[in-house]
Amino acid sequence: MDLDEANHDLLEHTEMNIQKFVEETNDRNVEGWRQWDMHHFVLGLCGETGELANNAKKHSRWLVGWKGKAMDVVEFIDTLKEELPDIMIYLCLIAGKYDLDLGELVKDKVEVIKERFGWK
């Protein structure tokens, strides 16, 4: 299997898992999640991406040798492991709120990016 086939398989698998998560999230805890409006989810997404951005700032300080509040690559990877799922969950909640197929949207966007940059 070449890299393109592997990436395609990964994208297909990811798309199915994202949509399944969105559907399951919508089916569960109706009183919990559904009482929140889209603004709660967007603000949550902003908060999580803000945490990731702050940690990226600290990591960039480490890269240039700053002695202040810096974060080495191991610490930064740990924060990626913590923040990226939070971000994905909020994206799924937003998509679910409006019955959007996030997996399909990502798949379509990847095709646009591939065409834009001449990737095969």
Within 8 A by CB and 6+ apart from 17, the residues are 103
Count, residues in the chain: 120
Each residue's pLDDT tens digit, 71-94: 889 999 999 999 998 998 888 888
Within 8 A by CB and 6+ apart from 50, the residues are none
Where do the domains of the chain lie, and which CATH numbers do they carry?
3-116 (1.10.287.1080)
More confident residue, 50 or 26: 50
Cβ atoms 95, 22 nearer than 8 A? yes
What is the CB neighbour count within 10 angstroms for residue 120?
4
pTM > 0.75: no
CA distances, 36 to each of 13, 18, 33, 40, 101 (Å) = 29, 20, 6, 6, 20
Is residue 2 predicted with pLDDT exceeding 90? no
**pLDDT score recorded for residue 12:** 65
